[in-house]
A = this chain, B = another copy of it.
C-alpha cells in the first residue's frame, strides 16, 4: 500500500486534517530550475577523450547562478525543529530576520512564517535541503537569483516586488547526505567472458558492447601500461587507430588494484605493458542509469525479438545522466539525437526526468548566441521535443517554468530569417539534416522551413499553456504563413514532391526524402499528396537512399503512418537484422549493407571512427510500440489515447506501452486481441473483415472495414475480430 492510498483512506475517515503533524512530508534537495542539469551536463560532456586527449564540445557551455535565494511561507501547527543542509555559504531568515551565523538547526514557532535561505556557491550549484515535521524543501519552494531587497536611509526594508520567483528544481536526492554535487551514476562489477594473455599483454572480451571503468587487479612493477579499447576486436587490436585509449605510469612495488578514472565504451580491451610491469586480471565497473523498463514487445518472429532486445540494450547504454548520442566517441547531448531518444523513452522507460534533464541541458541559458549544438535543425528538434513531452506526459509545469527560455530561443531563430522570411544558413549555422554524401546545404533548404513551421506550432501551444495569449496567436499566425510559403515555394507539381531547396530565389531540381517524409507524419500533406509522395519519393529507388538509422527512423515512421507496416517490418529485418548478422551487440551510428568487413567500422575518414552503439540505432522500440502495438496519446498525458494494433505480417505480438501512471498491456493475433490499460480513455481501432466483438464493448464502423470502440481504464477486454 502506497502513501497515496493511505492518504485516501485517511481522507475517507475524515482524519487527515488532524494528522498532518504525523504525516511525514518528503524533503528533497532543491536548486534553481535547470542549474543542476547545466552543471551535470558540463561535467558529463567534458569526459570525452579521443586517444587520451581531452575533447570538449565546441559550443557555449552555460553556467549556474552562484547566488540564490530560496523561500517558502509555512503555516506551522506547533513549534517544530527544522534541520538545514546547504551546499554553499548561507544565511537563514525567519520572517525577514537573519539568524546569527549559518544555523544547522532552527526552531520555528507555531503560526505563519516565511523562511528564506540565501546561498552562495562558486564551485557547485547552490542547493538546500530542509527537513522539519511540516517544513520541508521541495518544488513548492520559490527561488530567485536576484531578490532585489534594500533598505532606505531610515532602515526600512523594501522588496522591489518585481523579483521573478520560480518553483525550485529538484530530482530524487531525498536524504541530506545525497549531495547533488556528488551525484554519480551507479556501477556494478562485470567480468570478461574471455581473456587471452600474452607475455606483456592481455586481451579481454566482455561478450558484448558495454560501458564503464576498467579495473586492473594485481598491478605491480615500474613502467608503462596502455589500454586500447575496442567496440570491435579489430579496434582493440589497433593501438595506432583505436579511438580511445588510456596510458598509466605504473610505479607500485606491491600488487594493487587500479581503477581507471574515466569510463569508456568497449567490448574488447587490449592491455599492453612493459616487461617491468605485471598484471593479474582485468574486470570492469559497468556504469548505468537506474531507469526501469516499463515498455516491452514480443512476437512470433525471433529476429524481431532480437532486434527489440538489442535496441533496448543500445538505448539503455545511451540513457545516462542525459540521453546521449553514442557511448564511444562523443558522449554528448545532441538535440537531434535526443529528440529520437525522447520518443523511444516514451515507449520503453517513460522516464520523465531524463527527458527534462536533457532538454534543460540542451537549452542552457540566455543569451542565445548560437543554435543548439550549433545546428539549425537541432534547435527546431528541441521545440518539437518539448511539445512531445507535454503530449506524452501531460505535465504542464515544466512548460510553464521554461516558457521564457522557449521564447528567447524562438526570438533568436526568427531574428535570423532572411528577407523572404526563410531560414538560410548564416555564418555560424551548421545545417546538418543527415550524414549523406553530397547533400546540399545551400540556399533555403525546405527541410529547415518545415521544422521551423512545426516549432512555431509547438510554441503556439506552449504559449497557451503558459498563459501568453498574444504569443499563442502570433506563433500560430507565423506557422500558418510559413506553411503556406512552404507549399508555394517548394511543392513541385511535376515531381509530385517538395524539392530540397531554393537557391538564389529559385527552386532546385533536387528531391530528397527529408521534407517529404516529415510532411507525412506532420500531416502537412493532403491525402492525395501523401499517396503521390509515397510513390514519387518514399518507394522511389532513384531518390538518394538513407544510410543512417537516424533518418531511417523518420522514413519508416512515414511509411507506418501510411499503413505500410508489412513493408516496414521487412525493412526492419533487412536493416537492423543486417547489423545483427554482422555480429552487432548494439546498433550502429550508420549501416550501409553494401559495405564489407572492416569497412563497416570506418567513418569520418577514420578506420574505427564509427560508433557501434548509437541511440538513434534503437528506433524499432518506437516503431513497434507506436505503429504495431499502435498505442499513442490523443490528448496530453494519455487522458485519451488510441490503440490501433497492426500485425504487419506477424502472427502474434504482445507487449506493454507505458503511460504516465501505468501501462497499456496487450496480446494480439489476427483473430483475438486482449487489452487492458491502467488509465485514460482509449479508442480501440481495428481493421477487420468482420465486425469485432467483445464483452462490454460497442464497435462502430468508421470507414471501410475499420471499427472503433471505447476502452475504459482498469478493464481487461478480449476482442474477437478477423485481421486482413
A89-B46, A120-B46, A374-B160 in contact; A101/B65 too (CB < 8 A)? no
Do A120 and B606 touch (CB < 8 A)? no
Do A52 and B148 touch (CB < 8 A)? no
Within 8 A of B (CB), among A94-125: 98-102, 118, 120, 122-123
| Any B CB within 8 A of the CB of A155 | yes
| Any B CB within 8 A of the CB of A604 | yes
Q: How many Å lie between the Cα of A60 and that of B606 in the bound state?
A: 46
Residue of B at shortest CB range from A90?
B54
| Any B CB within 8 A of the CB of A198 | no
Q: How many Å lie between the Cα of A102 and that of B53 in the bound state?
A: 7
Do B101 and A247 touch (CB < 8 A)? yes
| Any B CB within 8 A of the CB of A150 | yes
Do A155 and B58 touch (CB < 8 A)? no
Within 8 A of B (CB), among A645-672: none
Do A52 and B101 touch (CB < 8 A)? yes
**Considering only CB atoms and an 8 Å cut-off, how many residues of chain A contact the other chain?**
68
Closest-CB distance, A89 to chain B (whole angstroms): 5
Closest-CB distance, A425 to chain B (whole angstroms): 9
Closest-CB distance, A578 to chain B (whole angstroms): 20
Do B150 and A53 touch (CB < 8 A)? no
Q: How many Å lie between the Cα of A427 and that of B162 in the bound state?
A: 5
Determine the chain B residues whose CB is within 8 A of the CB of A98 once the complex forms.
50, 53, 55
Q: How many Å lie between the Cα of A100 and that of B428 in the bound state?
A: 29
Determine the chain B residues whose CB is within 8 A of the CB of A427 once the complex forms.
160-162
| Any B CB within 8 A of the CB of A59 | yes
Do B61 and A65 touch (CB < 8 A)? yes
A42-B66, A89-B54, A122-B39 in contact; A59/B605 too (CB < 8 A)? no
Q: How many Å lie between the Cα of A39 and that of B63 in the bound state?
A: 12
Determine the chain B residues whose CB is within 8 A of the CB of A151 once the complex forms.
604
| Any B CB within 8 A of the CB of A11 | no
Determine the chain B residues whose CB is within 8 A of the CB of A55 once the complex forms.
91, 98
Determine the chain B residues whose CB is within 8 A of the CB of A101 once the complex forms.
52-53, 247
Q: Which of A183-191, A306-314, A384-392, A429-437 contacts B (4 or more CB under 8 A)?
A: A429-437
Do A56 and B428 touch (CB < 8 A)? no
Determine the chain B residues whose CB is within 8 A of the CB of A43 once the complex forms.
122
Residue of B at shortest CB range from A100?
B52
Q: Which of A22-30, A363-371, A486-494, A711-719 contacts B (4 or more CB under 8 A)?
A: A363-371
Do A66 and B58 touch (CB < 8 A)? no
Q: How many Å lie between the Cα of A53 and that of B120 in the bound state?
A: 13
Do B374 and A146 touch (CB < 8 A)? yes
What 0/1 pattern do residues 53 to 90 of A give for CB contact below 8 A with B?
11111111101111100000000000000000000011
A66-B42, A122-B43, A428-B160 in contact; A99/B53 too (CB < 8 A)? yes
Chain A residues near B (Cβ < 8 Å): 39, 42-43, 46, 50-61, 63-67, 89-91, 98-102, 118, 120, 122-123, 145-156, 160-163, 247, 366-367, 369-370, 374, 426-430, 435-437, 603-606, 609
